[in-house]
Chains A and B, each alone.
Chain A
Amino acid sequence: MSKARQLADLGNVYDDGALSNRNMVTNGAMLVNQRGNRSPAGFTGGFYAGPDRWYVNRSGTGATGFSQISSTSYGGTKAAEASFLCASGETYIVTQRIEADNIAHLAGQTVTLSFWASGSSDAGSATLNASLSYAGAVNDFTSETVISSNAVSYSGSAQRFTFTFTLPANAANGVAIRFDGAKTSATGTFTLTFGGVQLEAGDTPTDLEHEPISVTLQKCRRYYQNVYNRGNATTGTYYSYYNKFYGNQVQFEPMRTGPTVSYSHIGGAFYWVNPGVAAYSANSTAGFSYSTHQTNAFSMGAIEFSQVRPAGGTTPSNFASYRLEANLIFHLDAEL
Protein backbone atom coordinates (compact mmCIF):
# COMPACT_ATOMS: atom_id res chain seq x y z
CA MET A 1 0.00 0.00 0.00
CA SER A 2 1.32 3.40 -0.92
CA LYS A 3 2.03 6.10 1.62
CA ALA A 4 -0.64 8.22 -0.05
CA ARG A 5 -3.21 5.46 0.43
CA GLN A 6 -2.23 5.02 4.07
CA LEU A 7 -2.62 8.73 4.72
CA ALA A 8 -5.99 8.76 2.97
CA ASP A 9 -7.19 5.84 5.08
CA LEU A 10 -6.00 7.56 8.23
CA GLY A 11 -7.96 10.63 7.23
CA ASN A 12 -11.08 8.54 6.68
CA VAL A 13 -10.76 6.99 10.10
CA TYR A 14 -10.74 10.44 11.62
CA ASP A 15 -13.65 11.67 9.48
CA ASP A 16 -15.68 8.60 10.38
CA GLY A 17 -15.33 9.50 14.03
CA ALA A 18 -13.45 6.38 14.97
CA LEU A 19 -10.99 8.35 17.03
CA SER A 20 -11.71 10.20 20.24
CA ASN A 21 -14.28 12.88 21.02
CA ARG A 22 -17.06 11.32 18.98
CA ASN A 23 -19.39 11.01 21.98
CA MET A 24 -21.41 14.21 22.50
CA VAL A 25 -22.58 13.00 25.92
CA THR A 26 -20.63 14.08 28.98
CA ASN A 27 -20.27 11.43 31.68
CA GLY A 28 -22.24 8.91 29.61
CA ALA A 29 -20.33 6.18 31.46
CA MET A 30 -21.53 7.63 34.80
CA LEU A 31 -18.00 7.70 36.21
CA VAL A 32 -18.20 11.14 37.82
CA ASN A 33 -20.47 11.77 40.79
CA GLN A 34 -19.34 15.04 42.36
CA ARG A 35 -22.58 15.81 44.21
CA GLY A 36 -23.02 12.34 45.63
CA ASN A 37 -26.04 10.10 45.43
CA ARG A 38 -29.56 11.13 46.27
CA SER A 39 -31.29 8.38 48.20
CA PRO A 40 -35.02 8.05 47.52
CA ALA A 41 -36.85 10.86 49.29
CA GLY A 42 -39.88 13.03 48.77
CA PHE A 43 -39.73 15.08 45.59
CA THR A 44 -39.90 18.87 45.85
CA GLY A 45 -38.51 19.91 42.46
CA GLY A 46 -36.22 18.89 39.63
CA PHE A 47 -32.63 18.27 40.75
CA TYR A 48 -29.08 17.52 39.77
CA ALA A 49 -27.66 14.81 42.02
CA GLY A 50 -25.97 11.48 41.50
CA PRO A 51 -23.93 11.11 38.31
CA ASP A 52 -22.91 14.50 36.95
CA ARG A 53 -24.79 16.25 34.16
CA TRP A 54 -28.01 14.24 34.52
CA TYR A 55 -31.11 16.13 35.58
CA VAL A 56 -34.07 14.38 37.20
CA ASN A 57 -37.65 15.61 37.17
CA ARG A 58 -41.12 14.17 37.51
CA SER A 59 -44.75 14.90 38.26
CA GLY A 60 -46.08 14.17 41.73
CA THR A 61 -44.12 14.15 44.97
CA GLY A 62 -43.31 10.48 45.58
CA ALA A 63 -39.93 9.25 46.75
CA THR A 64 -37.33 9.86 44.04
CA GLY A 65 -33.68 8.87 43.96
CA PHE A 66 -30.75 9.01 41.59
CA SER A 67 -27.47 7.25 42.27
CA GLN A 68 -24.25 6.00 40.78
CA ILE A 69 -23.91 2.24 41.11
CA SER A 70 -21.13 -0.19 40.30
CA SER A 71 -21.94 -2.62 37.51
CA THR A 72 -20.20 -4.07 34.48
CA SER A 73 -23.47 -4.71 32.63
CA TYR A 74 -23.94 -1.21 31.24
CA GLY A 75 -20.95 -0.69 28.99
CA GLY A 76 -18.39 0.17 31.66
CA THR A 77 -17.87 -0.13 35.37
CA LYS A 78 -20.59 2.25 36.56
CA ALA A 79 -24.23 2.97 35.83
CA ALA A 80 -26.97 5.32 36.99
CA GLU A 81 -29.99 4.13 38.92
CA ALA A 82 -33.14 6.24 39.08
CA SER A 83 -36.13 5.31 41.20
CA PHE A 84 -39.57 6.87 41.11
CA LEU A 85 -42.41 6.04 43.47
CA CYS A 86 -45.37 6.95 41.29
CA ALA A 87 -49.11 6.66 41.18
CA SER A 88 -50.64 5.58 37.89
CA GLY A 89 -50.41 8.43 35.37
CA GLU A 90 -47.46 10.20 36.97
CA THR A 91 -44.49 10.90 34.71
CA TYR A 92 -40.70 11.00 35.14
CA ILE A 93 -37.64 11.99 33.18
CA VAL A 94 -33.85 11.80 33.37
CA THR A 95 -32.20 14.11 30.89
CA GLN A 96 -28.86 15.58 29.85
CA ARG A 97 -28.71 18.96 28.16
CA ILE A 98 -25.95 19.34 25.60
CA GLU A 99 -24.62 22.85 25.22
CA ALA A 100 -25.14 24.54 21.85
CA ASP A 101 -21.42 24.88 21.13
CA ASN A 102 -21.00 21.11 21.52
CA ILE A 103 -23.80 20.03 19.18
CA ALA A 104 -24.42 22.83 16.66
CA HIS A 105 -22.01 21.26 14.16
CA LEU A 106 -24.36 18.27 13.87
CA ALA A 107 -27.53 20.26 13.10
CA GLY A 108 -29.10 18.90 9.94
CA GLN A 109 -27.24 15.63 10.24
CA THR A 110 -28.05 12.07 11.27
CA VAL A 111 -26.99 11.05 14.75
CA THR A 112 -27.21 7.80 16.68
CA LEU A 113 -28.05 7.42 20.35
CA SER A 114 -26.95 4.22 22.06
CA PHE A 115 -27.14 3.12 25.68
CA TRP A 116 -27.59 0.16 27.99
CA ALA A 117 -30.73 0.04 30.14
CA SER A 118 -32.84 -2.17 32.31
CA GLY A 119 -35.98 -1.48 34.29
CA SER A 120 -38.34 -2.93 36.81
CA SER A 121 -41.56 -1.99 38.55
CA ASP A 122 -42.54 -3.44 41.90
CA ALA A 123 -46.23 -2.95 41.13
CA GLY A 124 -48.10 -2.40 37.88
CA SER A 125 -46.36 -1.30 34.72
CA ALA A 126 -44.30 1.65 33.52
CA THR A 127 -43.21 2.96 30.14
CA LEU A 128 -39.81 4.19 29.01
CA ASN A 129 -38.96 6.29 25.96
CA ALA A 130 -35.68 7.56 24.56
CA SER A 131 -35.90 10.84 22.72
CA LEU A 132 -33.97 13.90 21.66
CA SER A 133 -35.25 17.45 21.89
CA TYR A 134 -33.84 20.86 21.04
CA ALA A 135 -33.83 23.99 23.20
CA GLY A 136 -36.24 26.85 22.51
CA ALA A 137 -33.32 29.31 22.36
CA VAL A 138 -29.56 29.00 22.56
CA ASN A 139 -28.78 27.08 25.77
CA ASP A 140 -32.26 27.87 27.09
CA PHE A 141 -34.13 24.68 27.90
CA THR A 142 -37.10 26.43 29.51
CA SER A 143 -39.02 25.09 26.56
CA GLU A 144 -38.00 22.10 24.47
CA THR A 145 -39.30 20.57 21.26
CA VAL A 146 -39.08 16.81 20.97
CA ILE A 147 -37.45 15.75 17.71
CA SER A 148 -38.67 12.17 17.91
CA SER A 149 -39.37 9.63 20.60
CA ASN A 150 -38.80 5.88 20.66
CA ALA A 151 -40.29 3.31 22.99
CA VAL A 152 -37.65 1.36 24.90
CA SER A 153 -38.63 -2.28 25.38
CA TYR A 154 -36.68 -2.71 28.59
CA SER A 155 -36.49 -5.81 30.72
CA GLY A 156 -34.94 -6.70 34.04
CA SER A 157 -31.61 -7.38 32.35
CA ALA A 158 -29.30 -4.82 30.80
CA GLN A 159 -29.63 -4.55 27.02
CA ARG A 160 -28.08 -2.18 24.55
CA PHE A 161 -30.50 0.01 22.60
CA THR A 162 -29.76 2.21 19.60
CA PHE A 163 -31.90 4.83 17.88
CA THR A 164 -31.17 7.10 14.96
CA PHE A 165 -32.35 10.70 14.63
CA THR A 166 -32.07 13.50 12.12
CA LEU A 167 -31.30 16.72 13.93
CA PRO A 168 -33.17 19.76 12.63
CA ALA A 169 -31.54 23.16 12.17
CA ASN A 170 -32.81 24.26 15.59
CA ALA A 171 -30.62 21.62 17.20
CA ALA A 172 -27.98 24.34 17.02
CA ASN A 173 -29.71 25.79 20.13
CA GLY A 174 -28.65 22.76 22.16
CA VAL A 175 -30.00 19.24 22.38
CA ALA A 176 -31.36 17.24 25.30
CA ILE A 177 -31.16 13.48 25.62
CA ARG A 178 -34.29 12.32 27.39
CA PHE A 179 -35.25 9.08 29.09
CA ASP A 180 -38.85 9.56 30.11
CA GLY A 181 -42.02 7.64 30.74
CA ALA A 182 -45.07 7.20 32.92
CA LYS A 183 -46.44 4.80 35.45
CA THR A 184 -49.37 3.26 33.62
CA SER A 185 -51.02 1.21 36.34
CA ALA A 186 -50.96 0.85 40.10
CA THR A 187 -48.83 2.76 42.58
CA GLY A 188 -45.29 1.49 42.83
CA THR A 189 -41.64 2.22 42.32
CA PHE A 190 -40.18 2.17 38.84
CA THR A 191 -36.44 1.64 38.83
CA LEU A 192 -34.45 2.57 35.75
CA THR A 193 -30.81 1.58 35.48
CA PHE A 194 -28.82 2.86 32.53
CA GLY A 195 -25.32 3.68 31.39
CA GLY A 196 -22.92 3.74 28.49
CA VAL A 197 -24.85 6.57 26.88
CA GLN A 198 -23.39 7.76 23.59
CA LEU A 199 -24.62 10.23 20.97
CA GLU A 200 -22.52 10.33 17.83
CA ALA A 201 -22.60 11.44 14.22
CA GLY A 202 -23.84 9.00 11.61
CA ASP A 203 -26.33 6.17 11.52
CA THR A 204 -24.12 3.44 12.95
CA PRO A 205 -23.53 2.98 16.67
CA THR A 206 -19.91 2.38 17.57
CA ASP A 207 -18.48 0.95 20.76
CA LEU A 208 -18.80 3.21 23.77
CA GLU A 209 -15.93 5.65 23.75
CA HIS A 210 -13.85 5.14 26.85
CA GLU A 211 -12.04 8.18 28.14
CA PRO A 212 -9.85 8.68 31.21
CA ILE A 213 -11.85 9.64 34.28
CA SER A 214 -9.66 12.73 34.61
CA VAL A 215 -10.93 13.92 31.23
CA THR A 216 -14.55 13.24 32.16
CA LEU A 217 -14.08 15.07 35.46
CA GLN A 218 -12.60 18.07 33.70
CA LYS A 219 -15.55 18.16 31.30
CA CYS A 220 -18.02 17.92 34.18
CA ARG A 221 -16.38 20.75 36.05
CA ARG A 222 -17.43 23.11 33.29
CA TYR A 223 -20.94 22.66 34.74
CA TYR A 224 -20.37 21.82 38.39
CA GLN A 225 -17.40 21.67 40.72
CA ASN A 226 -16.64 21.37 44.40
CA VAL A 227 -13.88 23.54 45.80
CA TYR A 228 -12.40 22.41 49.08
CA ASN A 229 -11.33 25.21 51.33
CA ARG A 230 -9.34 23.90 54.27
CA GLY A 231 -9.24 26.31 57.14
CA ASN A 232 -5.52 26.39 57.70
CA ALA A 233 -4.77 27.49 54.13
CA THR A 234 -7.30 30.24 53.75
CA THR A 235 -6.17 33.80 54.01
CA GLY A 236 -8.22 36.93 54.29
CA THR A 237 -8.12 40.49 55.42
CA TYR A 238 -9.96 42.49 58.04
CA TYR A 239 -11.41 45.89 57.17
CA SER A 240 -12.31 47.72 60.35
CA TYR A 241 -14.46 50.35 58.58
CA TYR A 242 -16.97 47.64 57.61
CA ASN A 243 -16.14 45.38 60.55
CA LYS A 244 -15.74 42.56 58.02
CA PHE A 245 -13.28 39.86 57.10
CA TYR A 246 -12.79 39.19 53.40
CA GLY A 247 -11.24 36.18 51.69
CA ASN A 248 -11.26 34.36 48.39
CA GLN A 249 -10.69 30.95 46.88
CA VAL A 250 -9.83 30.22 43.24
CA GLN A 251 -11.99 27.67 41.44
CA PHE A 252 -10.52 24.67 39.59
CA GLU A 253 -11.77 25.08 36.05
CA PRO A 254 -13.34 27.79 33.94
CA MET A 255 -17.10 27.24 33.90
CA ARG A 256 -19.87 27.59 31.35
CA THR A 257 -21.15 30.75 32.99
CA GLY A 258 -21.07 32.48 36.34
CA PRO A 259 -21.99 29.72 38.80
CA THR A 260 -24.47 29.66 41.63
CA VAL A 261 -22.59 29.07 44.88
CA SER A 262 -23.53 27.27 48.07
CA TYR A 263 -21.32 25.77 50.74
CA SER A 264 -21.09 22.95 53.25
CA HIS A 265 -19.28 23.39 56.56
CA ILE A 266 -17.76 19.95 56.92
CA GLY A 267 -15.60 20.35 59.98
CA GLY A 268 -13.63 22.55 62.30
CA ALA A 269 -14.74 25.66 64.05
CA PHE A 270 -15.88 28.75 62.21
CA TYR A 271 -13.83 31.69 63.33
CA TRP A 272 -11.07 33.98 62.08
CA VAL A 273 -7.58 33.48 63.47
CA ASN A 274 -3.99 34.39 62.87
CA PRO A 275 -1.45 31.56 62.67
CA GLY A 276 -0.65 30.44 66.15
CA VAL A 277 -2.77 33.14 67.75
CA ALA A 278 -6.13 33.03 69.42
CA ALA A 279 -9.40 33.71 67.64
CA TYR A 280 -10.31 37.18 66.41
CA SER A 281 -14.02 36.48 66.21
CA ALA A 282 -16.65 34.32 67.85
CA ASN A 283 -17.19 30.80 66.55
CA SER A 284 -20.21 31.49 64.33
CA THR A 285 -21.42 31.36 60.74
CA ALA A 286 -23.57 34.46 61.25
CA GLY A 287 -23.08 37.12 58.62
CA PHE A 288 -21.16 34.81 56.27
CA SER A 289 -21.64 35.74 52.62
CA TYR A 290 -20.14 34.41 49.41
CA SER A 291 -20.36 34.65 45.65
CA THR A 292 -18.20 34.35 42.56
CA HIS A 293 -16.40 36.88 40.45
CA GLN A 294 -15.89 35.81 36.87
CA THR A 295 -13.30 37.62 34.87
CA ASN A 296 -13.91 36.87 31.22
CA ALA A 297 -15.95 34.96 28.66
CA PHE A 298 -14.42 31.70 29.82
CA SER A 299 -15.56 32.34 33.35
CA MET A 300 -12.21 32.07 35.06
CA GLY A 301 -13.13 33.06 38.53
CA ALA A 302 -12.82 32.99 42.25
CA ILE A 303 -15.15 32.70 45.18
CA GLU A 304 -15.19 35.82 47.29
CA PHE A 305 -16.45 35.42 50.80
CA SER A 306 -16.87 37.77 53.69
CA GLN A 307 -18.21 37.80 57.19
CA VAL A 308 -19.36 40.54 59.46
CA ARG A 309 -17.15 39.92 62.49
CA PRO A 310 -19.07 38.00 65.12
CA ALA A 311 -18.03 39.76 68.32
CA GLY A 312 -15.59 37.73 70.39
CA GLY A 313 -11.94 36.95 70.81
CA THR A 314 -9.13 39.43 70.29
CA THR A 315 -9.88 42.64 68.40
CA PRO A 316 -8.45 42.37 64.87
CA SER A 317 -6.27 45.01 63.26
CA ASN A 318 -7.30 46.91 60.18
CA PHE A 319 -5.88 45.49 56.91
CA ALA A 320 -4.12 42.67 58.76
CA SER A 321 -4.22 39.12 57.40
CA TYR A 322 -6.33 36.42 58.98
CA ARG A 323 -7.60 33.05 57.97
CA LEU A 324 -10.99 31.46 58.34
CA GLU A 325 -10.60 28.44 60.59
CA ALA A 326 -13.26 26.30 58.94
CA ASN A 327 -13.27 23.38 56.56
CA LEU A 328 -15.65 24.30 53.76
CA ILE A 329 -16.70 22.86 50.46
CA PHE A 330 -18.01 25.44 48.04
CA HIS A 331 -20.41 24.02 45.47
CA LEU A 332 -20.35 25.82 42.12
CA ASP A 333 -23.25 25.15 39.79
CA ALA A 334 -23.28 26.41 36.19
CA GLU A 335 -25.54 23.72 34.79
CA LEU A 336 -27.93 24.31 31.92
Chain B
Amino acid sequence: MEHVVITQAVYVRGLPNIGQEVGEVYAIMIVVDGQELSVPLDPSNRHYAEIMRQVEAGELTIQEADA
Protein backbone atom coordinates (compact mmCIF):
# COMPACT_ATOMS: atom_id res chain seq x y z
CA MET B 1 0.00 0.00 0.00
CA GLU B 2 1.22 3.46 -0.78
CA HIS B 3 2.08 5.79 2.07
CA VAL B 4 -1.00 7.27 3.70
CA VAL B 5 -1.19 10.11 6.19
CA ILE B 6 -2.63 8.80 9.47
CA THR B 7 -3.51 11.67 11.77
CA GLN B 8 -4.64 9.59 14.76
CA ALA B 9 -4.37 5.97 15.92
CA VAL B 10 -6.05 4.52 19.03
CA TYR B 11 -6.39 0.90 20.19
CA VAL B 12 -9.96 -0.46 20.43
CA ARG B 13 -10.95 -2.89 23.17
CA GLY B 14 -13.78 -5.36 23.04
CA LEU B 15 -16.26 -6.32 25.72
CA PRO B 16 -14.40 -7.60 28.81
CA ASN B 17 -15.02 -11.17 29.84
CA ILE B 18 -16.40 -11.83 33.31
CA GLY B 19 -13.72 -11.16 35.87
CA GLN B 20 -11.67 -8.94 33.56
CA GLU B 21 -11.27 -5.25 34.16
CA VAL B 22 -10.73 -4.40 30.51
CA GLY B 23 -11.43 -6.09 27.22
CA GLU B 24 -8.94 -7.44 24.75
CA VAL B 25 -7.46 -5.08 22.18
CA TYR B 26 -8.73 -6.25 18.82
CA ALA B 27 -8.56 -3.23 16.53
CA ILE B 28 -6.96 0.13 15.92
CA MET B 29 -9.09 3.15 15.10
CA ILE B 30 -7.26 5.45 12.69
CA VAL B 31 -8.16 8.69 11.00
CA VAL B 32 -7.18 9.03 7.34
CA ASP B 33 -8.15 12.07 5.34
CA GLY B 34 -10.74 12.96 7.98
CA GLN B 35 -12.37 9.52 7.91
CA GLU B 36 -12.37 7.09 10.85
CA LEU B 37 -11.34 3.54 9.96
CA SER B 38 -11.39 0.59 12.34
CA VAL B 39 -8.49 -1.70 11.43
CA PRO B 40 -8.27 -5.28 12.76
CA LEU B 41 -4.99 -6.66 14.08
CA ASP B 42 -4.48 -8.70 10.94
CA PRO B 43 -1.15 -8.66 9.07
CA SER B 44 -2.97 -9.44 5.82
CA ASN B 45 -5.03 -6.27 6.12
CA ARG B 46 -3.34 -3.59 4.04
CA HIS B 47 -4.18 -0.80 6.47
CA TYR B 48 -2.76 -2.75 9.41
CA ALA B 49 0.42 -3.46 7.44
CA GLU B 50 0.79 0.27 6.75
CA ILE B 51 0.18 1.15 10.42
CA MET B 52 2.88 -1.27 11.51
CA ARG B 53 5.27 0.08 8.90
CA GLN B 54 4.76 3.62 10.17
CA VAL B 55 5.09 2.55 13.82
CA GLU B 56 8.36 0.75 13.11
CA ALA B 57 9.62 3.78 11.19
CA GLY B 58 8.84 6.00 14.19
CA GLU B 59 6.28 7.96 12.20
CA LEU B 60 3.21 6.93 14.21
CA THR B 61 2.32 6.21 17.84
CA ILE B 62 -0.80 4.25 18.76
CA GLN B 63 -2.59 5.64 21.78
CA GLU B 64 -3.91 3.39 24.53
CA ALA B 65 -7.60 2.56 24.48
CA ASP B 66 -10.16 3.52 27.03
CA ALA B 67 -11.40 0.61 29.12
Which A residues contact B (CB, under 8 angstroms)?
44-46, 57, 139-142, 239, 242, 246, 256-262, 289-294, 304, 306, 333-336
Contact = CB atoms under 8 A, between A and B. Distances in A.
Nearest to A45: B4
Given A291-B40, A304-B15, A336-B46, 11 more contacts: A44-B5, A45-B3, A46-B2, A256-B44, A257-B45, A260-B40, A260-B48, A262-B37, A289-B29, A292-B27, A292-B38
B67 interface: yes
A334 B49 CA distance: 12
Contact of A262 (B1, B3, B38): B38
Nearest to B36: A262
B60 to A, nearest CB: 15
A334 B1 CA distance: 12
The 6 A-B pairs at the shortest CB distance, nearest first, are namely: A258-B40, A291-B27, A258-B42, A257-B44, A291-B38, A261-B38
Contacts of B29: 289
Contact of A142 (B1, B14, B16): B1
Taking residues whose C-beta sits less than 8 angstroms from the other chain, chain B's interface range is 20 to 34
Contacts of B42: 257-258, 294
A293 B25 CA distance: 12
Nearest to B29: A289
Contacts of A142: 1, 49
17 contacts: A44-B33, A45-B4, A142-B49, A239-B15, A242-B15, A257-B45, A260-B38, A289-B29, A289-B38, A291-B14, A291-B26, A292-B27, A293-B26, A304-B14, A306-B15, A333-B47, A334-B45
B47 A260 contact: yes
Question: Do most interface residues of chain A lie in helix, strand or loop, or is the interface mixed?
Answer: strand
Contact of A289 (B3, B12, B33): B12
Interface of B: 1-5, 12, 14-16, 26-27, 29, 33, 35-42, 44-49, 67
Contacts of B48: 260
Contacts of B44: 139, 256-258
A142 B44 CA distance: 12
Nearest to B16: A242
B26 A45 contact: no
A238 to B, nearest CB: 12
Contacts of B5: 44-45
Nearest to A57: B2
B56 to A, nearest CB: 13
Nearest to B10: A289
Contacts of A45: 2-5, 33
A322 to B, nearest CB: 15
Contacts of A261: 37-38
